[in-house]
């Protein structure tokens, strides 16, 4: 009877289909031998699969309760925080870490407010945005200078040297100008006379120039465009503050999650080692089969794998937070705050949406960009209009002329060796400029700016929809996380009591190791689910704050590090 049943349940040979009534009728001539052959084929296939994987370099431990050691680098990355505080100042922007700083280093505990303060003070992206605000402020100040006249001081020095040779075809005695022009006179020049003269002139000039645009239709749009770009940079800075708050909060909460996961996995491994030691003792006493011991070894190995991965995840979470805070290379942060549950969101969904749209820096940045493009379009179009400018100039000049090396048979007495000349001049002028034809270049540039301005309106609609989606997603997930947390708490309480009962029944011999393993797995799973639900409550709360948290637009203003909604905003009428 038993042989027939085993033969009925034996799997068919490879390539053979199982008859539809195989479980309903016995197989003639089948027995234990066929079942053993099927098990042998299964064992061969499992061995083939095992050979496809690389063999372990470490030998199997002699004592099954022993666990392989963890990697030293993993242990060093997960060491606890030290007691002595270290400097958290960021390294210079263009510096690279040295081998000593990367190899050594310390772990320092940070609270969430401390992490936010460090991020606001030394985040590279936020510092770059502050410099962008300073840049656009300087551009606005430069544009405001167009309303003022331009005064220039000009000066110059020069030196010029020339050599001259000349000859006379006819002398001057024939002019009858008197004795000074007769032979032997001071100004006598005979016919055919030749002379050579070297001359050097030193000149200097200095003055003031004044220019002022009396009529310039492009000046006001240029100032308005610069002011709009400054507003856009400030709104982008405020939006970056909100985004940085969310990024730091998520990184910190995830680090807390990884810390707690390591504790859960460590407790699971310790409990597995205790049970494995008990099963090993019972196996040696002949009270439990070998199967219980092998199954418990596999469970302990899986728990060890999960612990190793949890340690790696915590090391990565620490490094991610250090990167966001721009900490020095020798400093690794750890979460010093205990896990605290954020309260439920105080606003309903409609009120939250209306409050998120009011004064939202992300939307204001798009509007400011659109305004800057509109004013830039007016500035370009104003180039086709006439311009009237005033120019005034006044100054003085001085020259010194030196003449030497005079040779020849005339004119030496008429040459002045050194001559000084000085004077001044001034001028006033009005200039009129009107671009009459440029082949449509200016009009085409105006059309291009108008297209960019229209595109910003569509980007505004896209940002508005993104804000609603982000807020609704965070709102629903926040409520779901609170509900899951309540269920997870009940699950932990029930799983803990069930594990205690299963352990007592197993130690009393009333239950087997399988029931104990399943109960332990359910307890660990419920602890992980409660942890995840708690962290998700805090993360979704931070996501909601990302849309409503008040932040300054001025980079010089202090940034609050509290993660609480200051008061319930009133809905828009």
pLDDT digit string, tens, across residues 298-315: 888 999 999 999 999 999
Half-sphere exposure of 14 (CA within 13 A, CB side): 6
- How would you write 292-320 as a 3-class SS string? HHHHHHHHHHHHHHHHHHHHHHHHHHHHH
Q: Give the residues across from 429 on adjacent strands.
A: 391
In this structure, how many other beta carbons lie within 10 angstroms of the beta carbon of residue 123?
21
164 or 429, which is more confident? 429
Dihedrals φ, ψ of 322, to 5°? -65, -40
133 or 71, which is more confident? 133
Q: How confident is the model at residue 378 (pLDDT cuts 50, 70, 90)?
A: very high
User: Which residue among 374, 405, 439 closes a domain?
Assistant: 439
Asked if residue 24 is part of any domain, the answer here is: yes
Residues 392 and 1: their CA atoms lie apart, in Å, by: 124
185 has a pLDDT exceeding 80? no
Residues 38 and 181: their CA atoms lie apart, in Å, by: 145
Asked if residue 570 is part of any domain, the answer here is: no
Q: To which H or E segment does residue 98 belong?
A: none
Q: Would you say the C-alpha torsion 80, 115, 313, 100 has a positive or negative sign? A: negative
Long-range contacts of 44-52 (CB under 8 A, 24+ apart): none
Q: Give the residues across from 196 on adjacent strands.
A: 165, 407
Please compute the mean of the pLDDT values over residues 117-128 and round it to a whole number: 94
Closest CA to 451 of 528, 522, 374: 374
Kindly report which listed range (58-72, 228-242, 452-466, 491-505) carries the lowest average pLDDT score: 58-72
Q: Give the residues across from 109 on adjacent strands.
A: 334
Q: What are 124-157's pLDDT values in tens digits?
A: 999 999 999 999 999 999 999 999 999 999 999 9
Q: Reduced to 3 states, what is the DSSP secondary structure of residue 516?
A: helix
Asked if residue 418 is part of any domain, the answer here is: yes
CA distances from 152 to 178, 389, 397, 426 (A): 54, 15, 17, 14
Closest CA to 384 of 179, 269, 217, 564: 217
User: Which residue among 12, 32, 49 closes a domain?
Assistant: 49
19 or 226, which is more confident? 226
Q: What is the pLDDT of residue 573?
A: 40
- How would you write 12-45 as a 3-class SS string? CCCCCCCCCCCCCCCCCCCCHHHHHHHHHHHHHH
Q: What is the pLDDT of residue 25?
A: 43
314 or 198, which is more confident? 314
Q: What is the pLDDT of residue 249?
A: 96
Q: What is the pLDDT of residue 262?
A: 95
Q: How confident is the model at residue 506 (pLDDT cuts 50, 70, 90)?
A: confident
CA distances from 406 to 169, 264, 419 (A): 19, 108, 16
Q: What is the pLDDT of residue 373?
A: 96
Asked if residue 58 is part of any domain, the answer here is: no
Q: What is the pLDDT of residue 16?
A: 45
Q: How confident is the model at residue 89 (pLDDT cuts 50, 70, 90)?
A: confident
178 has a pLDDT exceeding 90? no
Asked if residue 419 is part of any domain, the answer here is: yes
Q: How confident is the model at residue 92 (pLDDT cuts 50, 70, 90)?
A: confident
322 has a pLDDT exceeding 80? yes
At residue 434's C-alpha, the angle toward residues 431 and 439, to 5°, is: 145
468 has a pLDDT exceeding 90? yes
Q: What is the pLDDT of residue 15?
A: 40
Domain count of the fold of the chain: 2
pTM of the predicted model over 0.75: yes
Q: Would you say the C-alpha torsion 436, 442, 444, 447 has a positive or negative sign? A: negative
Would you call 513 exposed, middle or buried from its count of C-beta atoms within 10 A (0-12, 13-18, 19+)? Answer: buried
Asked if residue 6 is part of any domain, the answer here is: yes
Pairing status of strand 331-335 against strand 418-433: unpaired
Q: What distance, in Å, lies between the first and last C-alpha atoms of the chain?
A: 84
262 or 565, which is more confident? 262
Q: What is the pLDDT of residue 128?
A: 95
What are the strands, taking DSSP E only, across 309-376?
331-335
At residue 314's C-alpha, the angle toward residues 108 and 65, to 5°, is: 115
Q: What is the pLDDT of residue 349?
A: 95
Asked if residue 325 is part of any domain, the answer here is: no
User: Which residue among 416, 439, 462 closes a domain?
Assistant: 439
Half-sphere exposure of 568 (CA within 13 A, CB side): 10
172 has a pLDDT exceeding 90? no
Q: How confident is the model at residue 483 (pLDDT cuts 50, 70, 90)?
A: very high
Buried b (16+ CB within 10 A) or exposed e, 45-59: eeeeeeeeeeeeeee
Would you call 248 exposed, middle or buried from its count of C-beta atoms within 10 A (0-12, 13-18, 19+)? Answer: buried
304 or 509, which is more confident? 304
281 or 485, which is more confident? 485
Q: What is the pLDDT of residue 571?
A: 46
Pairing status of strand 150-167 against strand 194-215: antiparallel
Closest CA to 552 of 242, 101, 258, 324: 242
Looking at every residue in the chain, the average pLDDT score rounds to: 85
Domain that holds residue 30: 2-49
Dihedrals φ, ψ of 458, to 5°? -70, -35
Q: What is the pLDDT of residue 355?
A: 94
Closest CA to 315 of 268, 242, 255: 255
Q: To which H or E segment does residue 425 belong?
A: strand 418-433
Q: Reduced to 3 states, what is the DSSP secondary structure of residue 275?
A: helix
105 has a pLDDT exceeding 90? no
Closest CA to 571 of 344, 343, 357, 346: 357
Q: How confident is the model at residue 4 (pLDDT cuts 50, 70, 90)?
A: very low
Q: What are 7-59's pLDDT values in tens digits?
A: 333 344 434 444 444 434 444 445 666 666 666 776 666 566 556 555 544 44
Q: What is the pLDDT of residue 387?
A: 92
Please compute the mean of the pLDDT values over residues 310-328 and round it to a whole number: 95
Q: Reduced to 3 states, what is the DSSP secondary structure of residue 401?
A: strand
Residues 231 and 238: their CA atoms lie apart, in Å, by: 11
Residues 257 and 253: their CA atoms lie apart, in Å, by: 6
Q: How confident is the model at residue 171 (pLDDT cuts 50, 70, 90)?
A: confident
Residues 386 and 240: their CA atoms lie apart, in Å, by: 43
Kindly report which listed range (254-268, 354-368, 390-404) carries the lowest average pLDDT score: 390-404
Asked if residue 43 is part of any domain, the answer here is: yes
Q: What is the pLDDT of residue 538?
A: 95
């Amino acid at each position: 009877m038993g042989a027939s049943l085993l033969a009925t349940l034996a799997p068919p040979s490879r390539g053979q289909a199982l008859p539809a009534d195989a479980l309903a009728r016995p197989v003639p001539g089948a027995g234990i031998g066929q079942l053993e052959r099927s098990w042998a084929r299964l064992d061969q296939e499992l061995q083939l699969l095992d050979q496809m994987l690389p063999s372990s370099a470490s030998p199997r431990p002699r004592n099954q309760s022993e666990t392989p050691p963890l990697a030293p680098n993993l242990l060093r990355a997960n060491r606890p925080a030290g007691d002595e505080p270290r400097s958290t100042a960021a390294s210079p922007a263009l510096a690279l870490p040295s081998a000593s700083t990367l190899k050594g280093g310390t772990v320092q505990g940070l609270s969430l407010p401390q992490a936010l303060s460090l991020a606001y003070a030394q985040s590279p992206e936020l510092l770059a945005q502050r410099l962008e605000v300073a840049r656009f402020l300087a551009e606005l100040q430069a544009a405001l200078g167009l309303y003022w006249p331009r005064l220039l001081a000009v000066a110059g020095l020069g030196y010029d040297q020339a050599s001259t040779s000349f000859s006379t075809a006819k002398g001057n005695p024939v002019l009858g100008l008197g004795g000074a022009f007769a032979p032997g006179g001071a100004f006598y020049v005979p016919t055919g006379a030749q002379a050579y003269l070297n001359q050097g002139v030193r000149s200097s000039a200095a003055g003031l120039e004044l220019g002022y645009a009396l009529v310039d239709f492009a000046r006001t749009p240029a100032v308005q465009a610069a002011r709009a770009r400054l507003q856009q940079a400030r709104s982008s800075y405020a939006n970056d503050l909100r985004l940085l708050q969310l990024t730091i909060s998520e990184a910190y909460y995830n680090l807390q999650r990884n810390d707690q996961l390591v504790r859960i996995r460590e407790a699971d491994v310790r409990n597995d080692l205790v049970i494995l030691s008990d099963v090993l003792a019972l196996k040696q006493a002949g009270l439990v089969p070998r199967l219980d011991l092998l199954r418990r070894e596999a469970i302990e190995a899986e728990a060890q794998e999960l612990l190793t991965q949890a340690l790696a995840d915590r090391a990565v979470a620490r490094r991610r937070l250090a990167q966001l805070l721009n900490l020095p290379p020798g400093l690794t942060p750890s979460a010093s705050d205990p896990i605290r549950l954020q309260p439920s969101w105080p606003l309903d969904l409609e009120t939250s949406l209306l409050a998120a749209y009011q004064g939202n820096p992300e939307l204001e940045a798009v509007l400011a960009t659109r305004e800057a493009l509109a004013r830039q379009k007016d500035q370009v179009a104003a180039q086709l209009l006439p311009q009237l400018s005033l120019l005034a100039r006044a100054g003085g000049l001085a020259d010194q002329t030196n003449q030497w090396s005079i040779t020849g048979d005339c004119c030496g007495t008429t040459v002045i060796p050194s001559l000084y000349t000085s004077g001044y001049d001034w001028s006033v002028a009005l200039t009129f400029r009107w671009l009459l034809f440029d082949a449509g270049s200016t009009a085409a540039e105006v059309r291009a700016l108008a297209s960019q301005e229209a595109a910003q309106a569509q980007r505004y609609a896209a940002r508005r929809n993104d804000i609603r989606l982000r807020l609704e997603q965070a709102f629903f997930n926040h409520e779901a996380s609170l509900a899951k947390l309540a269920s997870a708490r009940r699950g932990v309480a029930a799983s803990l009591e069930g594990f205690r009962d299963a352990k007592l029944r197993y130690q009393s011999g009333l239950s087997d190791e399988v029931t104990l393993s399943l109960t332990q797995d359910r307890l660990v799973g419920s602890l992980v689910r409660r942890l995840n639900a708690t962290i998700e409550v805090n993360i979704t709360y931070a996501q909601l704050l990302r849309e409503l948290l008040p932040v300054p637009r001025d980079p010089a203003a202090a940034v609050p590090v509290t993660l609480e909604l200051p008061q319930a905003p009133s809905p828009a009428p």
